[in-house]
Amino acid sequence: MSLARTQRSEPAELDSADRRIINRLQDGLPLVESPYAAVAAEISLSEGELLYRLERLLEDGVLSRFGPMYHAERLGGGLTLAALEVPEADFERVTAAVNAFPEVAHNYRREHRLNMWFVLATETPERIDEVIAAIEAATGLTVFNMPKQEEFHVRLHLPV
Amino acid sequence: MNSLSMTFISPLEDSAAQRLRALLERGLPLTARPWQALAEQCGMSEGEVLAWVERWQREGLIKRMGLVVKHHALGIRANAMVVWDLPDDTVSEVGRRLAEEPAVTLCYRRPRHLPDWPYNLFCMIHGTRRERVLAALDDIVRRQALQEIPHRVLFSLKAYKQCGGRYTREEQT
């Protein structure tokens, strides 16, 4: 089995069984000896078909991973969302400066006066403040730190 | 970030459990008895593997076994962060209600930064096109009677960095 991930240019075509699999497995897998058989029965597939389709969805690059979802804070790390107001003329320089930090996990340009939004993931909670100070020094801009204060649980993370 | 794997296990946990942790980070085997397959690779019984995973889930280290969907591969190009300025005494209740909306894929309370940033509730809505995301938001505003609540939609224009990493996190705003 090849695990090479395909970089797709066209959206993948999913049939109804693929959608049932993705939506059901976003909810987790039961901790039983034959978990795939249990899930397959719930969504009217055979165990073999479920495994075959899961493997194909991974190979096709529709799914990036199937396995444990970790709780970042309980791993002992720090996690936050932060934003910058970047002057348009400076956008390229600031992007390079921010992305150079290995703690920056995602960085999106968004439509607002605060136009750069990134996630910081650090090995310890204390390190968040140090990295923010370093980003402020490297960019000359004020970092708006917006750590999660309360999480509201959604059932499906991305219904398809 | 790679040394995070060691902070997870206390020194008292045995080395077989550490091997199990390392194997799990690569994903769950796609085979009829995945726990048995892991058990053979780390020198435990299938029951012991299940007991460890159950314990890690109970302790909250692992949220659940789950899958990560590649938005782009499904044609999901519109990614909207919707932010709301709610009174402090209703923000939690509204957050819980928004999280129950099928279109909302993440929902968090975060701090305001006055005067620049008055918003204290953040949710994500994904969709194939902007019009669909905005239509879904209109439905939510009507259903939840949020017409009077100041809010903004921040679509993403470009992703400059998207790290995968072995540690799957859900904070992908």
Backbone angles phi, psi at A154, to 5 degrees: -95, 150
B12, two tokens: 């008292």
Rounded Cα distance between A132 and A61, Å, is 34
Is residue B3 very low, low, confident or very high in pLDDT (cuts 50, 70, 90)? Answer: very low
Q: What is the pLDDT of residue A112?
A: 94
Beta carbons of A68 and B168 less than 8 angstroms apart:
yes
- ipTM value > 0.90: no
Q: Is B50 left (phi over 0), alpha (psi -120 to 50) or beta?
A: alpha
CB atoms within 10 A of CB B27: 21
pLDDT at A130: 97
pLDDT at B172 over 50: no
Paired residues of B161 in beta bridges: A107
Count interface pairs A-B at CB distance under 8 A: 261
Q: Residue B95: CA atoms inside 13 Å, Cβ hemisphere, count?
A: 24
For residue B155, CA distances in Å to A39, A146, A159, B95 come to 35, 18, 19, 20
Q: Give me the residues of B, 87-146, that contact A with CB < 8 A.
A: 92, 95-96, 98-100, 102-111, 113, 116-117, 122, 126, 128
CA nearest to B107 within chain A: A152
B50 three-state secondary structure: helix
Separation between Cα atoms, residue B105 and residue B107, nearest integer Å = 7
pLDDT given at position A149: 96
- Please, which residues 47-66 of chain A have a Cβ atom closer than 8 Å to chain B? 47, 51, 54-55, 58, 60-66
* Residue A117 with chain B: CB contacts under 8 Å: 81, 154, 173
Write down the mean pLDDT value for chain B: 85
- Name the residue facing B154 among A22, A112, A147 (closest C-beta): A112
Residue B24 has pLDDT above 60, yes or no: yes
> Do residues A151 and A157 make contact, with C-beta atoms less than 8 angstroms apart?
no
Average pLDDT over residues B123-140: 93
User: What's at B26, amino acid-wise?
Assistant: R
User: Are the beta carbons of B171 and A107 separated by less than 8 Å?
Assistant: no
Residue A160 contacts B, CB cutoff 8 Å? yes
Instruction: Give the pLDDT score at B163.
Output: 56
Residues lower than pLDDT 50 in chain A: 1-6
> Quick one: closest CA in B to A50, which residue?
B30
Residue B41: its H or E element? helix B34-42
Q: Which residue of B has its CA nearest to A38?
A: B32
Selected for mutation to probe chain A from B121, B168, B171 (highest A CB count within 10 Å) is B171
| Apex B90 CA angle, B86 and B93, nearest 5 | 115
Strand partners for B104: B125
d(CA A117, CA A143): 10
Amino acid identity of A73?
A: E
pLDDT mean over B132-159: 94
pLDDT band at B9; cut points 50, 70, 90: very low
Eight-class DSSP state of A9: S
Contact check, Cβ <8 Å, A149/B31:
no
Which residue among A34, A79, A104 places its CB closest to the CB of B171?
Answer: A79
pLDDT digit string (tens) for A41-82?
999 999 999 999 999 999 988 888 888 887 766 677 889 999
CA separation for the pair B165, A59 (Å, rounded)? 18
